[in-house]
Every structure is written in C-alpha cells, then in structure tokens.
Chain A
Amino acid sequence: MSVLVFTLIILVGACFAGFVGSLTGLGGGFIIIPLLTIVLHVDIHYAIGASLVSIIATSSGSAAAYVKEGITNMRLGMFLEIATTAGAVSGAMLAIFIPTHFLAIILGVILIISALLSLRKKVQQVALHNPWAVKLKLNGSYPTDDGIVNYSVSNVAGGFVTMLFAGVLSGLLGIGSGALKVLAMDSIMKVPFKVSTTTSNFMIGVTGAASAVVYLQRGYIDPSISMPVVIGVLIGALAGSKILVNSKSSGWLRWMFVIVVVALASQLIYNGIIGKI
C-alpha cells in the first residue's frame, strides 16, 4: 500500500465519519479513531491526535454559523470552558502515561455509552431558580419562530463538574465528548436543547485546542495522517449539515449509527484486551 492509497483510504473513511457524525450530532471522532487503529493499524496516539484536529475544524466551522444566529450562549460556554479546558489538559497529560491497550478499552466503553446516550428520549425540563446562574449571568434568551424565548439555568455546580469530566475524556481520548456536554447542559442544567447543542459545539473547539497543544508538543499530531482526516471529516460534515437542514433527523439513521459505533467499539475493546493494540 503506497502513501497515496493510504491517504485516499483515510480521506474516504473520514468523509464517512464526518457525514454520519454531523447527522447524528456526535462528531466524526467516533468512527475515525477505530477506523485508523483497527483497519489501518495506526498507533492510537496518532489516531487521537488526528481526531482532535478534525474536531476543532468541524466544531469551529459549525459554531461560526450558530453563533451568528444568536442561539449559542457565549457566557455559559465561556464559563464551562474553564472546566472543560482544565479537564482536557489533565486528560491529555494522563494519556501519555496510559498504555495504548488500556486507552483502547476505555475509548471503546465510552463510545458505547455515548452512542446509547444519544438514543435517549429528550424531555425538556424547566429550570429552577439558581443564585449562581444569576451571579454568573448564565440565564439567556434565544430566537425561535415564535419570537425570543427566555430561559434560566439550574444546577450550575453539577454542570460544571460534569464538564470537568467531559474535558478529561476529550483530552484522554481525542473525542469531542459532545454527548456528555449536551447531557450536562440539558439534563443537569436544564438548558433548552437548541442552546445546549450549539453551545456544546462552541465549546468543543476550545476543549480540543487545549488538548491539541499537548499532543502537538508530544509529536502525536502527524501531518500525513491529520491531513486526510481533517479534510475528509470537514467535507463529510458539510455534506451532512446540508442534508440535516432539508430533512428531519430520522430514527433509523440514529440506530444505524449506534450499531456501527457499538461494533467498532467492541472491536477496540477486544483488541485492547488481547493486547493487539
């Protein structure tokens, strides 16, 4: 297999990962890391580095669109970024000391949990009054078809701690941990769905950058792998977002994605246990 063929395979795989990742809102990292490690036998550290770079690209690209529409809660994002960046830096430093087969097992488990989380029925709950939310100016408003909707934020401390954990996972495994971020915001802090998804997206870029600077210095960001990954994921994500605008996200697609992720993740866990990774 020549460099050209190797690059093209990654490019096509990354396109697919970006496409499905954007349709389901989980991000491209879910498929790209298992693809690189299991199918192409790339060292998991390189895979994580490349995935981090692609996460920054897609999250920045889509955040650019959302932030202009005024749905993203910039203050909420900024405040929680204290937790995600602190977590991400610790996670990235930790990743250096954890043997690759352990990383593979942890990643597999987290992928399965996140995929299953994405299936859960969403029930919007109304936030209770929280003095911290007022002090930190986290309560906000966003435009809908029926005009401006105001909302408040609950359980600031609980959300903050969950974000810390999301940051650690992101730095450790090179995923955006968007599922966990959204969970922290809509289930714990009771932020409206549209705000929590766009704000999560807004935060993923900064979280990714915090870990990427560590990976970069460690030499884990290899240009020849990152190049097809980042270009492919971005193309796939763009295509996915175009489709998402035109149709309601369908249930079968979500199921298909979960099955793909669970299959890949089990493979990761299996390879991790027998020590092949």
Chain B
Amino acid sequence: MATKHKFRDTDMQAVLGWVLRIGVIVSISIVFFGGVVYLYRHGSEMPNHTKFTGIPDFTKLNGIVQGILDFRGRSIIQLGIILLIATPILRIVFSIIGFILEKDRLYVFISLLVLFIIFISSIGGHIA
C-alpha cells in the first residue's frame, strides 16, 4: 500500500478484534458440525470418562487428518478445538505485525517472547 496513512493502535485494535471474532466463529462452527456427526453416529452408546485412559488415536495430532478423511465426528471436533486454541496465538502473530508496522521494537520483542514461550510448551509438552 502506498498510502500515507500511518498504522496506529486503533487500526491494530480493529484488526485484532476481527482475528479473534473470525477465529471463534470458524472454530465453533467446526466443533458444532463435528458434534452433530459424532452424536448421529454414537449418540446411543455408553460414555466412560471416569478414568483417564488417553484419547483415541484419531483425535491425536497425527491421526486427525485420517480421521477427518474418514468423516469421524470426534476428529472434526478436535480440528475445531485446535483452531480455537490457535486463535489467541494468531492474535499474538498479528500483534507482532502490528508492532512492526508501528516501529515499536520493544513490543515486537515482547510479543515474540510470548510466542516463543508458547512454542516451547508446544514442542516440550510431551517430554516432561
């Protein structure tokens, strides 16, 4: 964009507002759709959640794609939930872009640091 308009906090607030809103709407719609599929196929079975046993493979990160291709309700729900978890993280990414446009180096660094902490936990969560 070759406009003279300077990127300000108010622009950033508008963008972040949209990122959050769209993220929630899209992910909840997917969760809802997956929920309908799941209940249609398993609604009359007996639930058992009293003891933690680990979730089925088709709701894990590496099995989820196959699960969605097989049209499994819980895989679709899990996709929606992952997108929902990604929404605030996406908000940080957009904040970083916003602070870069504002040339606010300190806050580019601070936002990167927050993103880094989440990144560490997302790769280290299964080690500890």
Contacts and interface: CB of A to CB of B under 8 A. Distances in A.
A43 B50 contact: yes
Nearest to A65: B17
Contact of B77 (A68, A88, A227): A227
Contacts of B73: 223
Band of interface residues on A: 35 or more
Nearest to B50: A41
Given A72-B13, A219-B55, A227-B34, A209 B20 contact: no
B124 to A, nearest CB: 8
B2 interface: no
Contacts of A217: 61, 122, 125-126
Interface of A: 1-4, 6-7, 40-43, 45-46, 53, 56-57, 59-61, 63-65, 67-68, 70, 72, 74-75, 78-79, 81-82, 85-86, 88-89, 92-93, 96, 136-137, 205-206, 208-214, 216-228, 230-231, 234
Counting from the closest, the 4 A-B pairs by CB-CB distance are A205-B88, A223-B77, A4-B43, A64-B20
A53 B110 contact: no
A59 B24 CA distance: 10
19 contacts: A42-B50, A60-B84, A60-B88, A60-B91, A64-B18, A65-B17, A68-B13, A68-B17, A70-B10, A88-B121, A205-B87, A214-B122, A216-B85, A222-B59, A223-B78, A224-B74, A231-B28, A234-B24, A234-B28
A81, A212, A220, A227 pick with most chain B CB within 10 angstroms: A227
Contacts of A3: 39, 42-47
Interface string B79-118: 0011011111101100100000000101100110110011
A213 B118 contact: yes
Contacts of B31: 226-227, 230-231
Interface of B: 9-10, 12-14, 16-18, 20-21, 23-24, 27-28, 31-32, 34-35, 38-39, 42-47, 49-52, 54-55, 59-61, 73-75, 77-78, 81-82, 84-89, 91-92, 95, 104, 106-107, 110-111, 113-114, 117-118, 120-122, 125-126, 128
Contacts, number: 201
A223 B10 CA distance: 37
Contact of B125 (A45, A59, A82, A213): A213
A86 B113 CA distance: 10
Given A4-B44, A6-B47, A205-B88, A221 B81 contact: yes
B88 A209 contact: yes
Nearest to B76: A223
A137 B103 CA distance: 14
Nearest to B38: A224
Given A56-B85, A70-B10, 14 more contacts: A57-B24, A78-B92, A78-B107, A81-B92, A85-B117, A88-B121, A206-B92, A209-B87, A213-B121, A216-B61, A217-B126, A221-B81, A222-B55, A228-B35
Given A64-B24, A136-B106, A205-B91, A53 B125 contact: no
A74 B12 contact: yes
Given A213-B85, A227-B38, A82 B17 contact: no
A41 B121 CA distance: 29
B21 A61 contact: yes
A212 B85 contact: yes
